[in-house]
Amino acid sequence: MNELTHLDATGAAQMVDVGAKAVTERVAIASGAVVMQPQTLDLIMHSGLKKGDVIAVARIAGIMAAKKTHELIPLCHQLLISKVSVDIVPDTALPGLRVTATVKVTGQTGVEMEALTAVSVACLTVYDMAKAVDKAMEINDIRLMEKTGGKSGSYRAEPR
């Protein structure tokens, strides 16, 4: 296993210097889910919540979160992101919503944290908008699914 890069020789936190890294295209895909009562999913899918279009608002929240990751997660670099997409689809088998975020940059550091932050905030937004009807919702399985680019190469999560 590699050493932690955010610690200096004394163990103090530090921001990693990416100045000498090659500029490459980097893509990260993260996913997660919000599990809810079937009636809650039905309300969301048929615009039955007073707060409005849950999926549209959660998508925008996820996109905004990816762009603000450097403000939320200590030691993350501010990146000139070229693409963020947040897809939210119903899954009656959960029942609930599956959230996937894809983030792309051409730069010197990866966008895994931006993709994970997008999914996390989109899921939290779903919870916030539907909590009046279903406080027992669960946010599950937020994880990095895939990443490409950079010195460490590609990664793909094993299916569960």
**What is the per-residue burial (b if ≥16 Cβ within 10 Å, else e) of 11-31?**
eeeeeeeeeeeeeeebbbbbb
Q: Would you name the residues annotated as active-site residues?
A: 128
Radius of gyration of the chain (CA): 17
Distance from the first to the final alpha carbon of the chain: 23
Provide CB contacts within 8 A for 119, sequence distance 6+: 30, 31, 32, 62, 86, 99, 100, 101, 142
Tokens representing residue 19 in the block? 């100045």
One-letter identity of residue 107: G
Q: Phi-psi region for residue 89, left (φ > 0), alpha (ψ -120 to 50) or beta?
A: beta
